[in-house]
Amino acid sequence: MRSIKLLTSGLALCVATQAMANDDLVAKMDDPTQWAIQTGDYKNQRYSELDAINADNVADLQVAWTFSTGVLRGHEGSPLVVDDIMYVHTPFPNIVYALDLNDEGRIIWRYEPKQDPDVIPVMCCDTVNRGVAYGDGKIFLHQADTKVVALDAKTGETVWEAQNGDPSKGETNTATVLPVKDKIIVGISGGEFGVQGHVTAYDMATGEQLWRAYSVGPDDQIMFDPEKTTNLGEPVGADSSIKTWEGDQWMIGGGTTWGWYAADMEENLFYYGSGNPSTWNPAQRPGDNRWSMTIFARDIDTGEAKWVYQMTPHDEWDFDGVNEMILTEQEIDGQERKLLTHFDRNGLGYTLDRVSGELLVAEKYDPVVNWTTGVDMDPDSDTYGRPEVVAEYSTEQNGEDVNSTGICPAALGSKDQQPAAYSPKTELMYVPTNHVCMDYEPFRVSYTAGQPYVGATLAMYPAPDSHGGMGNFIAWDNLAGEIKWSLPEQFSVWSGALATAGDVVFYGTLEGYLKAVHAETGEELYKFKTPSGIIGNVMTYEHDGKQFIGILSGIGGWAGIGLAAGLTNPNDGLGAVGGYAALSDYTALGGQLTVFALPD
C-alpha cells in the first residue's frame, strides 16, 4: 500500500510540475513588464498593455542604451525579457547573450554553439534566426544546423540537446520554437532543397521527441484522421495528401514550417502554415500538392490535425503559407467568435473561425495583387475555398521555358514572415508589407540531396504604376477585409510591428528607421535612424517602473538579396535600369540592439 501511495503522489507531483511550467510562462506573457515570447503572446498579437509611452509623448523618445551583437548578418526576431534578464540572440553562429537589466546590461552569460559552417550555404537567403524562447526556467535555441538546445536561463548551462533535422539534406532552421504546456514545438526550413516539411514536439524537461507530423505524405506521417480531420468543414478522407502528388514526389515535396506558431490553450490547438511545394517549376509536380501552402490546426498533445485549409493549391509562384496566425476574439454579426487572421504571401488576407476552420474572409491586402481574381466563397461550389487563377499570370498555364511577366506579388509575397500586430483597442491589424512584382520563368531541374532544387528564374521590381516604393505599412480591418490606411515606404517593410495600449504602433524600415505611428490614423509621430537596416521585430518591456522599446538592427535576409543593389524592372527598358533606389545607398551591415525610453 505504501509503495502504491508513493507512486501515486510521485505521479501527481509530475503532473503538477508540468502544469506549473506552463502556468509560469502564461503568467509571464500576461505580465506586460516582461516580453516572454517572441510573438508577444500565444495569440501572436504583438500587443502590449504598457502605455507610459503613448501617442502624446512618443515624439520625445530617446535612445536609452545600445548593445552590439558582434555579428554582421541579417538580424530577425527580437530579444526576450524575463525576470530582469534580457536574452539577445544573433544570426549564425547563433550566439545567445543574457544581459542583467539590474546591472546596466552586464553580460551574465553567453552561449556560442559549435556548428559546421557547411550549414551556411544551404540556408536559403542569409543565416537569420528569429530568436529564442523561454519556458520552465530554460531558454530554447533552435540553431541553424537544426540542433535544439535547452539552456538554464540563469546560468546558460546546457540542460539538453536534440537534433531535429539533417543539414546535409538541406534541412536547416531559421525559426523560433513554440513553448507550450510541457512541450516545445519546432519547425524546419529547406523548401528550396526538396525537404519534406514537418513539425516536431519535444519534451520541455528532457528533450525527448514526442511526435512528428509531416506536411506532405501518407496519413500516418501527416497525422491526419481521414474521418475526423476536416478541410472547410468536410472530412479530408483517406490519402488526402499523396493522391495530389504524382508518384512519390511528395517525398521531396517541401511544405516546410519556418513561420510563427500560435496556440489556443482552451481548444488545445496550435496553428501554423506550411511552405511551398518543391520545385518552383509547377510543371514538374502535377496536382494540388497537398498539404503545402496550408493553414494547420493540430492538437498540442497528440499532433493530430483537427482542420486544414490549403490557400494556394498547386503553387506556381513560391507563395509560402508560413506567415503568422493571429488569434483574436471579435464580434461578427452580433456573435463573438474565435478567429484566426493570416496575411499570406499570396497577397490575400484570410480570416477563419479557428475552432471549425470555416473560411470567413479572403481579400487582397495590397490592391496590386493580380494573379487571382479572388477566392470562391460559395460553400456549395465545387471550387469552394479555391483562388481563381488569372491565366495571364499562371506560370503553369504559360508553361516551362516561358517568362510570365508582371505577376503581383513577387515570390517574397505581399508579406513575408515579418509579423503583423493587432490592437484590441482599435480592432485593427498593423501589417508590414512588400509592394513588389515579378517575372517568373520555370524550367526543368533535377533533384540532388542537399543541393538547391529551385527550377525558376525570377526578376523582381517595385509594383508598376504605384508610388514607386517597394513597401507599405497598412492598417487592416480583418472583419471587413479592407485596408483602413496605408503608408507608402521606399523599401519593403521587413520588420515585425508592435501595437501598444498607448495608441502607438512601432515598426522598423530597411533604411534603419524605427518609426512610431498613431494607431488610429497612421500619422507619423517619431522616427530615429539606427545603425543598420531593420529586419527585426519591435518589442517592449518595463524595468524599474520605466517602459522601454527594443529593436535589433542588422540588414540581411531575403531583403538583403534583392534590395542591396536595387531592383530593376526589365520591362521598363534601358532608360529605367538603375533608376530605383539601392538599399546600399542608405545603410550598411550591422548587428545592434537599440533600446529607447522617454527622458526622465
Partner 1 sequence: MMRTASQTLFAAAVCVTLPVVASAQSWSDQPVKPAEHTDEVAVSYEDGGIYYNEDDIPTYNASEDGTVDWMTFSGFRRYHSECHVCHGPDGEGSTYAPKIKNSAVHMDYYDFYDVVVNGRQNGNSVMPHFGDNPNVMCYLNDIYVYLKARGMDAVPRGRPAKKEAKSDLIREMEDACMG
Site for partner 1, rule CB under 8 A? 71, 73-74, 92-93, 117-118, 120-122, 124-127, 192, 280, 403, 439, 441, 443-446, 448, 451-452, 454-460, 555-556, 560-562, 564-570, 574, 577-578, 589
| Shortest distance (Å) from residue 561 CB to partner 1 | 4
- d(C-alpha 144, C-alpha 167), whole Å: 9
Nearer Cβ to partner 1 (437/567) = 567
Q: Supply the residues annotated as catalytic.
A: 318
DSSP for residue 13? H
Q: Output the smallest distance, CB 556 to partner 1, in A.
A: 5
Residue 247, SS3 per DSSP = coil
Burial of 358 per CB tally in 10 Å (0-12, 13-18, 19+):
middle
Q: Shortest approach of partner 1 to residue 122 CB, angstroms?
A: 7
- Are 81 and 595 contacting, i.e. CB atoms less than 8 angstroms apart? no
Question: Which CA distances in Å does 30 have to 41, 242, 265, 341, 421?
Answer: 8, 42, 14, 21, 16
Shortest Cβ distance from residue 199 to partner 1 (Å)? 24
For residue 395, the minimal CB distance to partner 1 (Å) is 13
In this structure, the strands spanning 133-135 and 513-518 are unpaired
353: burial class by Cβ within 10 Å (0-12, 13-18, 19+)?
middle
For residue 527, give the C-alpha cell. Answer: 522616427
Looking at the DSSP bridge assignments, the partners of residue 363 are 349
Distance between CA atoms of residues 318 and 124, nearest Å: 13
For residue 286, what are the CA distances in angstroms to 106, 277, 396, 449, 452?
56, 11, 10, 21, 20
Q: Residues at the annotated binding site?
A: 76, 130, 174, 192, 256, 276, 318
Which residue ranges are tagged as binding site for Ca(2+)?
192, 276, 318
**How far apart are CB 468 and partner 1 at their closest, in Å?**
18
Closest CA relative to residue 319, chosen from 382, 369, 362, 249: 369
Nearer to partner 1, 95 or 348 (CB): 95
CB of 417 or CB of 547, closer to partner 1: 417
The span from the CA of 267 to the CA of 258, in Å, is: 23
Sign, Cα dihedral of 36, 38, 43, 49: positive
Give residue 199's region: left, alpha or beta (phi > 0; psi -120 to 50). beta
Minimum distance between the CB of residue 583 and partner 1, rounded to whole angstroms? Answer: 8
- Sign for the CA dihedral angle at 15, 21, 24, 30 comes to negative
305-310, strands of its sheet edge to edge:
234-235, 230-231, 305-310, 294-299, 269-273, 262-264
Q: Would you say 357 or 508 has its CB closer to partner 1?
A: 508
Nearest residue (CB) to partner 1, 10 versus 121: 121
Which residue, 118 or 523, has its beta carbon nearer to partner 1? 118
Sign of dihedral through CA atoms 468, 528, 496, 498? negative
DSSP 168: G
- Alpha-carbon distance 594 to 65, whole Å? 6
Binding residues for pyrroloquinoline quinone, as ranges, are 76, 130, 174, 256
CA distance 315 to 276: 7
Nearest distance from C-beta of residue 387 to partner 1, angstroms: 25
Q: Measured from the CB atom, is 74 or 187 closer to partner 1?
A: 74
Which string of DSSP letters, residue by residue, matches 19-52? HHHHHHHHHHHH-TT-B-STTSSTT---EE---S
Minimum CB distance to partner 1, residue 105 (Å):
25
Q: Which is nearer to partner 1, 127 or 351 (CB)?
A: 127
Closer Cβ to partner 1, 182 or 320, answer by number? 320
Cα(590)–Cα(119) distance, rounded to whole angstroms?
A: 22
Distance CA 192, CA 254 (A): 8
